[in-house]
Amino acid sequence: MPSRKFADGEVVRGRWPGSSLYYEVEILSHDSGSQLYTVKYKDGTELELKESDIKPLASFRQRKSGSTSSSPSRRRGNPSRSRSRSRSPGRRSPARRSPARRSPGRSPGRPPKSSHQPASAAHRADITEIRKEVLEVKLTPLVLKPFGNSISRYNGEPEHTERNDIPHKTPQEKFHLSQDSSYVSTQYSLRPRGEENKLKEIEFQEEEVITKGPASLRTFEVPAAQTKDLEFGGVPGVFLIMLGLPTFLFLLLLTCKQKEPSLLNFPPPLPALSGLWETRVFGAYLLWFFVQALFYLLPIGRVVEGTPVADGRRLKYRLNGFYAFLLTSAAVGAALWWGVDLHYVYRHFLQFALAALVFSVALSLYLYVRARRAPPSQLSPSSSGNVIYDFFIGRELNPRIGTFDLKYFCELRPGLIGWVVVNLVMLLAEMKFQNRATPSLAMILVNSFQFLYVVDALWNEEAVLTTMDITHDGFGFMLAFGDLVWVPFVYSLQAFYLVHHPHEVSWPVACFIIALKLCGYVVFRCANAQKNAFRKNPTDPRLAHLKTIHTSTGKNLLVSGWWGLVRHPNYLGDLIMALAWSLPCGFNHILPYFYVIYFAVLLVHREARDERQCRKKYGVAWDRYCQRVPYRILPYVY
Ligand code: NDP
């Protein structure tokens, strides 16, 4: 029989769901089946909490000024970690804090400080007391939210919004809030302004005390929000993926250069290390990466906010990917004009792939090591605490060096822009090897289709901020390798194939392929644009005709328009486009179709991952959406 740690009637600290705040609670009961404790907060709210969300009072009381701590970060004396532990949702970063707001804001009617108490300790005692009062007031209205109570219902909802059949509970009934409810409290605060301001003032004072006061003034211990639900086959799965993908990459590239590039043939021998590694090539790769980083830092382009992160903040992102692309195009154009030999990239293609691989592994190591010191609120919800798994999936959600967001930068810059340059290199190589004055129609189609895809992604750069990559997955080997190696070296496979395997495309066939590409593009772009516009502003008048389902998180789901056709219309469009990229290569070999096959597998798996997350997030509302829109990607088929 599973044991329980806390007894009925025991007074402990319980974490408020979706936040890093702990309150005093009394244990009422324990359910041995679900392993949940029913606890009662001081204002009478009853909740069910996991054991990991409950801490003995003693673990907080020990943290007095000057006391020693068993926390490794404390022993390392890491100030950033200790500060962030006391962070509450919605707190602004110190850099943005107004000095005027730092005045001591003691509650009226509180007794003056005792003369024999040290000033900072008395001050802190006051703050803790006031903070507790305000936080307790904060509890009551927020708990109404998840059940669609009229006070908390999102008031910007379109008139034709459908309601969920979420059972309304009586105030006496206890309930369980998921971690995901944090989004509600961060997005739609229900506290009266006065209380909000009072709370902020108190928080500011507290942080000031923490900054200036004696060593340890942390109040709450925050556990890391890590998952036990491992994806990709868990630790053995990700281990095999990390070994398998780089191996497969070189197999593809070596096979593609063969006269008979059949994947069924015996794999071509791997060149000696001297033929795979060249330091000059690695230097050229580093130059490419850092020039892109320089373009990213240019103060041009709009700055926008991303979706709220775990502690309620919205990170800022500069949208200048398209400018970076223009600057890169100008630089490549100038290089060609001055006679720089781009054929160098083709001749050293394998070396460039290895350089990118080495760089992505080094970057992943750096990301993992720095993430060990990241505060729990900045960990990715997909991280698990396991070294191998977290190295792969990424431990930290949005690793930044100052304002430089490493994941956001890698998502769309070095790899994606690099893909266009690689395609151009292949086009020039085709003309050279096949003695052509102009590129073949097949090569022009492949180049222009993929060029359009990249330009579209950069033009609509803001859309990346609502993708799973940014909002859910951490930054680790999976994205570093995917963005920096897989995209430029595998997505360019059709162009690479055409260099040595010419294929003549007739104009009627070309027209059909172009129509297919445009059709895929319209589905892909319109579906993504519709969802992004809706997420940005659910009351956008241009979306007023669309039907939505209300969800308990305050966010709604579209059930008509593109998102009423299938549950992932954007994936459908993407797959149609992928097919159009491969068709110009003819049907002699499967290699140019590798991308479509791989992409279909990726998107089916990705759809299943997203489905799991959405079901967790939206519960019964997601089930209703699935009933209304039964097909996932392909209407009437899947
Ligand atoms: P999506 O852009 O499809 O985002 C999924 C999220 O959209 C869900 O988690 C949910 O988030 C929201 N959502 C789902 N259904 C609805 C609905 N009915 N109404 C409103 N919101 C809804 O996922 P991805 O990040 O996987 O893909 C983004 C794009 O990138 C796609 O076009 C995809 O094809 C492309 N892609 C390309 C790859 C490539 O290698 N070329 C690889 C992967 C993706 P919430 O409710 O929290 O907002």
What are the tens digits of pLDDT across the range 92-120? 333 333 333 333 333 333 333 333 344 44
**Gap from CA of 535 to ligand 1 centroid (Å):** 11
State which amino acid sits at residue 179: Q
Maximum average pLDDT range among 77-91, 187-201, 589-603: 589-603
- Residue (of 356, 337, 359, 334) closest to 345 by Cα position: 356
DSSP states of 441-495:
HHHHHHHHHHHHHHHHHHHTGGGGGGSHHHHTS-SSHHHHHIIIIIHHHHTTHHH
- CA–CA separation, 576 vs 524, rounded Å? 9
How distant, in Å, are the alpha carbons of 279, 318, 319, 413 from that of 458?
Answer: 31, 12, 9, 9
Residue 218: its pLDDT value, please?
A: 34
Q: What is the pLDDT of residue 18?
A: 60
Which is the closest atom of ligand 1 to the Cα of 559?
A: 18
Q: Is the CB of 606 under 6 A from ligand 1?
A: yes
Residue 488 has pLDDT above 90, yes or no: yes
Determine the pLDDT at residue 226: 64
Q: 557 in ligand 1 pocket by Cβ < 6 Å?
A: yes
Ligand 1 contact via 589 beta carbon (within 6 Å)? no
pLDDT at 182: 31
CA distance 141 to 145: 7
Residue 454 has pLDDT above 90, yes or no: yes
Indicate whether residue 528 lines ligand 1 (CB < 6 A). Answer: yes
pLDDT of the residue at 271: 81
Beta bridge partners of 23: 14
80 or 470, greater pLDDT: 470
Give the CATH class of 10-56. Answer: mainly beta
Q: Give, using CA atoms, the residue closest to atom 34 of ligand 1.
A: 571
Whether the CB-CB separation of 179 and 52 falls below 8 Å is answered with no
Mean pLDDT over 511-529 rounds to: 95
* pLDDT at residue 121 greater than cutoff 80: no
Compute, in angstroms, the gap from residue 21 CA to the centroid of ligand 1: 31
Bridge-partner residues for 162, per DSSP? 549
Indicate if the pLDDT at residue 555 is higher than 90.
no
pLDDT tens digit sequence for 235-294: 999 999 999 999 999 999 998 888 887 777 777 878 888 788 999 999 999 999 999 999
- Ligand 1 atom closest to 468 (CA): 25
Q: What digits encode the pLDDT tens for the residues 383-412? A: 888 999 999 999 999 999 998 999 999 999
Instruction: Provide the percentage of residues in the chain whose pLDDT is more than 70.
Output: 72
What sign for the dihedral angle of Cα 206, 58, 139, 122? negative
Return all residues near 262 (Cβ < 8 A) that are at least 6 apart: 255, 589, 590, 591
326 CB-contact burial (10 Å; exposed 0-12 / middle 13-18 / buried 19+) = middle
Q: Above 70 in pLDDT, residue 563?
A: yes
Average pLDDT over residues 431-454: 94
Tokens of 575: 């797959």
The pLDDT, as a whole number, for residue 43 is 64
Q: How does the average pLDDT of the chain come out, rounded?
A: 76
How many other CB atoms are there within 10 angstroms of residue 516's CB atom? 17
Identify which has the larger pLDDT, 320 or 551: 320
pLDDT digits (tens, 9 = 90+) for 13-61: 888 766 667 788 888 888 777 778 888 877 666 677 888 888 887 666 4
What φ, ψ does residue 161 adopt, rounded to 5°? Answer: -60, 135
Instruction: Name which residue sits closest to atom 13 of ligand 1, judged by CA.
Output: 557
pLDDT of residue 453: 95
- Per domain, the residue ranges of the chain are 10-56, 230-504, 507-637
> What's the rounded mean pLDDT across residues 147-172?
33
Q: How far is the CA of 525 from the centre of ligand 1 (A)?
A: 12
Asked if residue 483 has its Cβ within 6 Å of ligand 1, the reply is no
- Span from the CA of 513 to the centroid of ligand 1 (angstroms): 26
| C-alpha of residue 569 to centroid of ligand 1, in Å | 9
| Eight-state DSSP code of residue 107 | P
CA distances from 300 to 154, 197, 237, 323, 455 (A): 35, 34, 42, 8, 18
Question: How far apart (Å, rounded) are the C-alpha atoms in residues 505 and 464?
Answer: 34
> What number is the average pLDDT over the span 147-164?
32
Give pLDDT tens digits for 296-319.
Answer: 999 999 999 888 887 778 889 999
Task: Between 107 and 63, name the one with better pLDDT.
Answer: 63
pLDDT beyond 80 at 434:
yes
